[in-house]
């Protein structure tokens, strides 16, 4: 649903479909802010609860935005440290994941900033980690910082640095490294695209005892024991059969139509972002099944162009895995869905073809991507609202920025709630939910449009006379916090 200005929303929200008619969540757009400098791409967003600011990372720096207004407070140029891939914040400390600007196969580093002074943190503030650190996350108590070192080779078949996860002890800022040598594998569908395991994204369980790491190109998840600080297993995530009811896809961008249909091909799930939550003491993971190939596309080709492999004529334009496909047994990239799994990799819920179908219904489906991963689910963020748990799923390949919202309170019976569609934004990359003073928000970093947008989340449509209070919530809470801080000084 395309959101209108707040007064129009309050006069009457229009939903399509029975599931949306009873949607318990509404989304009010508060602001959109463009990138501050040339060359900046809005990719990963983190929330600083101490100063109530948003820190947005994008290649050459970090934009620090006032969460109440979206106004730029400072652009931090990080090019002196390398190329920034991610930012994570805990208790006034921002961790920048920096890949080497000399050669990305060399070790990268974590650079620590103080979120109040917006300058390098005191003490040890530059920590060497593995090659191409792509994502960083603090444990809930802030005692550890985990870094996914993707370690992508520059030239395939030449030097391939070892993928790993760096575990930083934040008390003394020392590092241990978890690698994959000798780690047992389970499950099915683990790919071999011609390089070693490349950690993409990390989620941590509520107890802080285990981390779950997506290995996107290999279609696997690794389980990391945070006690021993070693991987215990690599779990193959299987494949999705697009010929089954509810899994239909649009496999062609050149057939002159947008149509979801049964296709005799399987998709590797290949999740990018992952999140974790507990229900009744049981941990579940939530994965956005983006799909990915080698950067040189050395494992990808259109079916019609693959020598020695044939298949249905209407799949000729579909990109398939050349390292895995044979005649009568075709494999493509991504599942065009999000999946809830147990920590053993077992599927509890999959959204089937709902994400593609909802994008088509809203007129934002990018038919040019039909041959290659569809709407391409990439980002995941979880948030609790009014006693319910929700998942926000960012879709990278739609004509307007789209984030699907699902109620995942009951993992096995997750249900579609609505889709946030934002005019002017394209390709949501990073999502961050946060709360201030009992009010709830979702920040969206959009890579292609180089914009950051903030929505307010509410559990019910507010009365018209209260909309001004809701809109002013961030500013009021921020003012009160500053006033308390001044009184304490």
**DSSP calls for 54-75:** EEEE-BSEEEEEETTT--EEEE
Per-residue pLDDT band for 178 (boundaries 50, 70, 90) equals very high
CA-based nearest residue to 301, from 285, 316, 311, 282:
316
* Residue 24: predicted pLDDT: 82
Q: What is this structure's pTM?
A: 0.90
* Alpha-carbon dihedral 126, 131, 132, 138, rounded to 10 degrees: -50
CB 334 within 8 Å of CB 268: yes
* Sign of the C-alpha dihedral computed for residues 418, 424, 430 and 432 taken in this order: negative
Backbone angles phi, psi at 18, to 5 degrees: -65, -35
- Cα 231 to Cα 183, 213, 238, 425: the distances in Å are 7, 10, 20, 38
Residue 182: CB atoms within 10 Å: 7
Backbone angles phi, psi at 470, to 5 degrees: -65, -45
225, with CB counted inside 10 A (0-12, 13-18, 19+), is: middle
* Residue 33: predicted pLDDT: 98
CB 29 within 8 Å of CB 3: yes
For residues 137-142, give the mean pLDDT. 98
CA-based nearest residue to 237, from 381, 337, 371, 376:
337
pLDDT for 261 beyond 60: yes
* Residue 475: predicted pLDDT: 52
Average model confidence (pLDDT) across the chain: 91
CB 291 within 8 Å of CB 335: yes
* Residue 477: predicted pLDDT: 42
Per-residue pLDDT band for 23 (boundaries 50, 70, 90) equals low
* Per-residue model confidence as pLDDT tens digits over 281-304: 999 999 999 999 999 999 999 999
pLDDT for 448 beyond 70: yes
* Per-residue model confidence as pLDDT tens digits over 180-197: 999 999 999 999 999 999
pLDDT for 325 beyond 90: yes
Per-residue pLDDT band for 277 (boundaries 50, 70, 90) equals very high
CA-based nearest residue to 88, from 27, 170, 210:
170
- Cα 36 to Cα 111, 142, 258: the distances in Å are 21, 30, 37
Per-residue pLDDT band for 15 (boundaries 50, 70, 90) equals very low
Backbone angles phi, psi at 361, to 5 degrees: -60, -30
Q: In what order do the strands lie in the sheet with 133-138?
A: 133-138, 144-149, 164-169, 174-178
CB 87 within 8 Å of CB 97: yes
CB 75 within 8 Å of CB 69: no
* Per-residue model confidence as pLDDT tens digits over 387-415: 999 999 999 999 999 999 999 999 999 99
* Residue 39: predicted pLDDT: 86
* Alpha-carbon dihedral 138, 190, 431, 341, rounded to 10 degrees: -80
Per-residue pLDDT band for 460 (boundaries 50, 70, 90) equals low
The span from the CA of 402 to the CA of 393, in Å, is: 8
Straight-line distance from the first to the last Cα atom of the chain, in angstroms, rounded to the nearest whole number: 46
DSSP for 118-161, written as a single string = TEEPSS--EEEEEESEEEEEE-TTSSEEEEEE----SSTTS--P
Question: Which DSSP category does 471 fall into?
Answer: H
């Amino acid at each position: 649903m395309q959101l209108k200005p707040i007064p129009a929303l309050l006069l009457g929200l229009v939903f399509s479909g029975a599931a949306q008619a009873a949607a318990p969540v509404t989304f009010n757009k508060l602001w959109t802010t463009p990138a501050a400098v040339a060359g900046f791409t809005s990719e990963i967003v983190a929330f600083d609860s101490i100063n109530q600011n948003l820190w947005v990372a994008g290649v050459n720096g970090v934009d620090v935005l006032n969460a109440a207004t979206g106004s730029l407070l400072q652009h931090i140029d990080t090019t002196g440290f390398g190329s920034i891939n991610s930012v994570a914040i805990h208790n006034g400390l921002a961790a920048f994941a920096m890949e080497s600007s000399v050669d990305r196969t060399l070790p990268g580093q974590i650079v620590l900033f103080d979120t109040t002074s917006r300058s390098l943190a005191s003490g040890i503030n530059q920590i060497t980690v593995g090659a191409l650190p792509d994502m960083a996350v603090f444990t809930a108590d802030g005692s550890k910082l985990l870094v996914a070192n993707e370690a992508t080779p520059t030239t395939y078949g030449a030097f391939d640095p070892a993928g790993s996860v760096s575990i930083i002890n934040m008390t003394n800022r020392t590092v241990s490294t978890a690698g994959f040598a000798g780690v047992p594998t389970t499950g099915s569908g683990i790919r071999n695209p011609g390089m070693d395991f490349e950690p993409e994204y990390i989620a941590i369980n509520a107890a802080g005892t285990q981390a779950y790491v997506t290995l996107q190109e290999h279609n696997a998840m690794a389980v990391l024991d945070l006690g021993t600080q070693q991987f215990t297993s690599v779990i193959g995530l299987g494949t999705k059969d697009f010929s089954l009811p509810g899994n239909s896809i649009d496999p062609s961008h050149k057939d002159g139509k947008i149509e979801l249909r049964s296709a005799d091909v399987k998709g590797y799930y290949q999740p990018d972002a992952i999140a974790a939550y507990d229900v009744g003491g049981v941990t579940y993971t939530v994965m956005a099944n983006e799909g990915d190939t080698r950067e040189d596309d050395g494992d990808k080709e259109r079916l019609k162009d693959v020598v020695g492999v044939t298949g249905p004529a209407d799949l000729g334009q579909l990109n398939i895995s050349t390292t895995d496909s044979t005649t009568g047994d075709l494999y493509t990239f991504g599942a065009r869905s999000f999946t809830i799994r147990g920590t053993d990799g077992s599927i509890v819920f999959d959204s089937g073809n709902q994400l593609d179908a909802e994008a088509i219904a809203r007129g934002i489906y990018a038919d040019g991507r039909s041959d290659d991963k569809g709407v391409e689910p990439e980002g995941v963020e979880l948030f609790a609202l009014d006693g319910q748990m929700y998942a926000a799923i960012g879709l990278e390949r739609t004509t307007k920025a789209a984030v699907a919202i699902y109620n995942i309170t009951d993992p096995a019976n997750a249900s579609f709630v609505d889709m946030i569609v934002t005019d002017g934004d394209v390709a949501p990359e990073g999502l961050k939910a946060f709360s201030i003073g009992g009010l709830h928000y979702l920040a969206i970093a959009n890579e292609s449009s180089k914009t950051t947008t903030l929505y307010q989340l509410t559990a019910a449509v507010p009365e018209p006379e209260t909309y001004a209070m809701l809109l002013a919530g961030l500013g009021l809470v921020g003012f009160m916090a500053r006033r308390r801080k001044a009184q304490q000084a």
